[in-house]
Chains A and B, each alone.
Chain A
C-alpha cells in the first residue's frame, strides 16, 4: 500500500497519453472549489437551533462567516508550508492527504452541527478543510506543468478552471441535499456535510488513483527539443526563488490583480442594486435582489471561462503581455463603470464586469505558467504555494478597501449610495496601474544548472 503512494510508482510508462492527467487534476479542483459556494450554508447554520428562524443560542452570521476566512487562510499557509514536501513525495501522496483533510473536514463539521459546537466547524471546514484546499490546489497544477511544457498556460488553466467550476456544482447540489434532509427537527446541514464528505472523498480518490508524473527527461512528441528553446527546464528551488526580486514582483502582481477583483466580486450584488436602483432608474427598470443574484451567477461563469481562455492565450502572446492586458484593460474598465451607472446602461455595466471577472480568474490561472517561465519546473509547486499567500492577503485587502471606502462616503461624506462606488472604482484602477508597473519590471532570470 505504501509503495502505491511512492513517487517512483507514479511515473508514467512511455506509451502513456498525457491527456489522462487533466481529468485527475480536475477531479481534485472540482471538489475543493466547493469553498466558493460555502456561503449557501451560512443562513441555515445561523438557524441550526431555531430551524425556521434564528433563536437565542444560534450562531450569528459573523461567527459562521469565520469558517470561510479560516479556510482561505489555511489554504495559503498550507500551500506555502507543504509545497516542498509535495515536490519531494510526489502528487499522489499529497493529493491523498488533501482528499483525507478536505473530506475529513466535512465529517468533523457534521459532528459540530449535531453537537452545536462552532469550534468543530472552525477545525473541520476551516483548518482541516483549508489544509486540504492548499495541498489540493498546488499538487495537480505542478504536475500538469511538467506534462505540458509546450502549453503550460492551457494546462494549468484547465485545472484552475475546475476550481471555479467546483462552486457551480457545489451550490445547487448542497441546496438540493439540504432540502432533502430538512425536517421539523433538523436544518439538514449535518446530513448534507456527511454526504458531501463521502462524495468528495470518492471523487478525489479518482484523481489520486489516476495521477501520473512524466519520466525524467520526457518530452511531448512533435514539439522538438524544449531543452534547446528559451525556457529553463529545471530551474531554481523554492528557497532560491524567494530570494529573487522577480518573486516579489510576481507576488505584487497577483496581490494587486486579485485584490481588485475580489473586492468587487463580494460587493457585486449590492453594487448593481444600488447603481441601478428604483430611485435612479425608475420602478420598472430597477434591478431587483433576485436579478442581482442572476448577475452574480453570470460573473461566476466569466470568472471560470476566463481561467481557461486567458491562460491559454498566454501560451501564444506570453505571460507578461497577458498581465499587461489585465492591468491596462482592467484599469480602463474600472474607470468606465461609474459612467455606465450614470448613463443607466446596464448592458455596458454587465459587460464591463464580466470582462473584469474573466481577467480576475485569468490572473489566477496564468500565474503558475509565469512562475514556470521564470523559475523552471524544479520546484514550481513549492514556489506557487508560497506565492498563494498573496491570495490570502488579497482576500482581506480587497473587500476591506471596498467596504470601508464605501461606508466612509455614505456615512461621513453623505454621498448617495448610487454614486458611492466611483472613488472605489478609481482606486481599484490605481491598484491595477501599480500592478502594471510591477509587471513591467519583471525581467527573465538567467538560470545556470
Chain B
C-alpha cells in the first residue's frame, strides 16, 4: 500500500513538473492573443 502511494505521488509530481510550465505558456499566449484581438 505504502509502495503504491509513493508511486502515485511520483507520477503526479512528474506530471505537475511538465504540466504547470505548459499551462503558464498557454495562458500567456492566450491572454496576449485575446487582448490583441480585442485591440483591433
Contacts and interface: CB of A to CB of B under 8 A. Distances in A.
A123 interface: no
Contacts of B25: 165-170, 172
Interface of A: 15, 17, 19-20, 23-24, 26-27, 30, 162, 165-172, 206, 210, 286-288, 290-291, 293-295, 297-298, 300-301, 304
Chain B, interface SS category? helix
B22 A297 contact: no
Interface string B4-21: 000100110011011001
Nearest to A23: B14
Given A27-B18, A301-B26, 19 more contacts: A19-B11, A26-B18, A27-B17, A165-B22, A167-B25, A169-B28, A172-B29, A210-B14, A291-B39, A291-B40, A294-B35, A294-B37, A295-B36, A297-B32, A297-B33, A297-B36, A298-B33, A300-B29, A301-B29
12 contacts: A17-B7, A23-B17, A30-B18, A30-B22, A162-B18, A165-B22, A165-B25, A170-B25, A290-B40, A291-B39, A294-B32, A301-B26
Interface residues of B, number: 23
Interface of B: 7, 10-11, 14-15, 17-18, 21-22, 24-26, 28-30, 32-37, 39-40
Contacts of A295: 33, 36-37
Contacts of B39: 288, 290-291, 294
Contacts of B15: 23
Given A168-B28, A169-B24, A288 B33 contact: no
B10 A301 contact: no
Chain A, interface SS category? helix
Given A165-B26, A287-B40, A301-B29, A20 B11 contact: yes
Contacts of B30: 297, 301
A20 B13 CA distance: 10
Nearest to A207: B18
A168 B36 contact: no
B19 to A, nearest CB: 8
Contacts of A206: 17
Given A17-B7, A20-B10, A291-B37, A297 B29 contact: yes
B26 A288 contact: no
A168 B11 CA distance: 24
A228 to B, nearest CB: 30
Contact of A294 (B17, B21, B36): B36
A412 B28 CA distance: 41
B36 A293 contact: yes
Nearest to B21: A169
A171 B24 CA distance: 12
A300 B32 CA distance: 12
B38 to A, nearest CB: 8
B36 A290 contact: yes
Contacts of A15: 7
Residue among A17, A288, A294 having the largest count of chain B Cβ atoms under 10 Å? A294
Contacts of B33: 294-295, 297-298, 301
